[in-house]
Structure 1
Amino acid sequence: MATEPTGDHWTSEAYQNAAAFVPKLASKVLQWLDVQKDDVILDVGCGDGVLDVEMAKVLARGAGRVHGIDSSAAMISAAQEAARKAGLADRCSFQVLDAARLPRASALQSGAFTKAFSNAALHWILRPPPDPAGSWAAVFDGVRGALAPGGTFVFEMGGLGNIAEIRAALLAAVARRLPGGVAQAREADPWFFPDERWVRETMEERVGGWKVERVEREWRPTEAERAGGVEGWVRLMGKKWFEALPEEEQEACVKEVVEVLEEVCRQPGGGWMLGYVRLRAVARKI
């Protein structure tokens, strides 16, 4: 989930309304993770815990457990409740923690985890160099410190080209309302969608201590949720873009973006298709 310095905009209800497909489409990255009953797993950006509960069903057969972190207190609360309702609270633990602060979370830097996992979160957290916040280095350093020697980090995130039509609509609509135009609007973009080369070079060379064993980028057109549609997605996921504008201009901008995207993404048979591109990787701590 997002790192939200201006407030926690996430709720499980809004997420389910706009993007319930995200955990449902995680089957491939979960196959790569290959959860075993005795695994000790760190989930970076766990959201509302839907996938953690699924992992815990396997972990309950052995001595395994999963610990999820997320910067959203609302989502962590939802994850705790989901684990409790599933009767798996003894296998799941959750913590409000920004992933970029992992290196300073001493309790998680003991090398106790056999695997680390992240789905649809890192594109909210990482930033390319030069990055004054150092988020990409902090995250990969922090995950490495949490893993036992030889442990693996399996993740999926938005890849280069992800939701290009949505970003274009947002950039154009927001830039038109700012004195600094495109340059100023670009600063409001909360996402980073890298490619395979960036992953290898960053983890193996810039950060070090990693061997990227597998990486791929997949074009995966994804149908918008029927409940929230394009508008639900834009209002939730695009929140940071609109916050760059004066409050009195935000609603008009939302409506403009939604109107454009409902036309661009419309399917002949009904509904809307979003241009998702997924980047997934397996990296081993060395």
Structure 2
Amino acid sequence: MHVLGVPTLSAPISAVAPATLALFLIIPISHSLQSQRWPNRKIDGLPTCVFVVVGGASHLHQIQAYQHSASFVPKLATKVVQWLNLQKDDVLLDIGCGDGILNAEFAKILAQGSGSMHGVDSSASMIEAARELCKGSQNATFDVLDATQLVSKPELQKGAFTKVFSNAAMHWILRPEDTRAQFFKGVYASLAPGGSFVFEMGGFGNVSEMRTAALSAVGRRIGMEAALAADPWFFPDEAWVTKALQDVGFVVERAEREWRPTPTDKGGVEGWIRLMASQFIDAISDEKEREEAVQECVGVLREVCRNPSGRETIHYVRLRGVARKPE
């Protein structure tokens, strides 16, 4: 493992020999905290970071793209983490934990008491990264799991968790319509009576300009039916998610959507399309046509997303909620 200390997120990944790289984890070393209570901690910046590098070279291009076009993503979890209100004795299940950046912070809180945490993600490389990041935490475990199959894991269905958390993952998890109900049933069964499910995901209207541009450009080349089938997301509203939760027994305590216009990263709208909409673009088999589709999207989006000051901004809509399993 190699560890490179850097003061900001702008250190060029290309400065490190590609042969040594597989995965970069952006690890917050410390945050500017006003108190020791988690609800008051601000995660809207990562003032001190290190890059942890593990493995070989296969992920270099992907991580460079992420750093260039989506480094804002971990900064947007402040409110849902406050709603989680994690306590030192909680037993937490994190669905779609990703590379473990938030889990590293959660582990510090749980280490103050008897709490523990189990993170799941469908990506083996993300789980490997989370394990590496949290390897010093005896109260944190991780496992590769497709969250739609949560009900098939008996060890996670015993009602042992006091809280279940999910951030920026459910708009992928809920894409298959036929597994939505079983996902919520799995979450419900995993919670102890009185336990809470706290989540944030893309909500109805999320990145609508980006999604429309991608559907249109890809649909013109492979047909709209195929383009719609390639759409990887499901963005519901408060009414839909409230009913879905109530249908399996939850009491929904709060649900809201928030419009959160977000300036693009260094890669602009082109970087966003290439990274976030890659499943759309990759549905086109011809390489030349794929690039034409990207440029068609970019040509439209540079006009649609440019504000009066000239900055490109994407219209994110977040859907978050808190649901409780009755005592």
TM-score range, shorter chain: 0.7 to 0.9
CA distance in 1, matches of 2:103, 2:67: 16
- Rounded Cα–Cα distance in structure 2 between residues aligned with 1:267 and 1:76: 38
1 CA distance for matches of 2:65 and 2:103?
A: 19
Bigger strand share: 2
Give the equivalent residue in structure 2 for 1:242.
281
**Match in the other structure for 1:124:** 172
The answer to whether residue 251 in structure 2 is matched with residue 211 in structure 1 is: yes
Query: 1:192 is matched with which residue?
Result: 234
Given that 1:117 and 1:154 are in contact with CA atoms closer than 8 Å, whether structure 2 keeps it comes out as: yes
1:268 CA displacement: 4.1
1:74 counterpart = 2:125 = yes
- Quote the Cα distance in structure 2 between the aligned partners of 1:13 and 1:59: 32
- Deviations along 1:163-220, one digit per CA (max 9) or x if unpaired, are 0100110011011101xx3233111111111001101111112xx2211111001111
| Alignment match, 2:214 | 170
1:43 partnered with 2:94: yes
Q: Cα 1:11–1:39, aligned 2, differ >3 Å: closer, same or farther?
A: farther
Change (3 A) 1:142 1:15: farther
Question: Whole-Å Cα distance in 1 between the matches of residues 68 and 157 of structure 2?
Answer: 35
Match of 2:80 among 29, 37, 54: 29
Match of 2:313 among 262, 265, 273: 273
1:219-248 CA deviation, whole Å, 9 max, x = no partner? 11012222x332332222112112221132
- Structure 1 alignment gaps of length 5 or more: 1-7
Which one scores higher on RCO, CA 8 angstroms, separation ≥ 6? 1
Superposed displacement of residue 262, structure 1: 2.5
What fraction of aligned residue pairs are identical, expressed as a percent? 58
The alignment's TM-score, normalised by the length of structure 2, stands at 0.77
Partner of 1:147: 191
The CA distance in 2 between the partners of 1:54 and 1:19, in whole Å, is 21
Separation in structure 2 between the aligned mates of residue 59 and residue 23 of structure 1, nearest angstrom: 21
Deviation of the 1:136 alpha carbon: 1.1
Partners of 1:156 and 1:280 within 8 A in 2? yes
Task: Read off the aligned partner of 1:91 and give its amino acid letter.
Answer: N
Compute the RMSD of aligned alpha carbons: 1.9
Structure 2, unaligned runs of 5 or more: 1-58
Paired amino acid for 1:257: C
Q: Taking structure 1 as reference, are residues 67 and 104 closer, same or farther at Cα in structure 2, changes over 3 Å only?
A: same
> Separation in 1 of the partners of 2:240 and 2:126?
29
Distance 2:128 2:309 in 1: 38
Deviations 1:78-131 (A, max 9, x none): 2122223xx4x3122111111001000122112111000011100011037xx3
> What is the DSSP-based 3-state SS (H/G/I as helix, E as strand, rest coil) of the residue aligned with 2:108?
helix
> Quick one: distance in 1 between partners of 2:64 and 2:309?
27
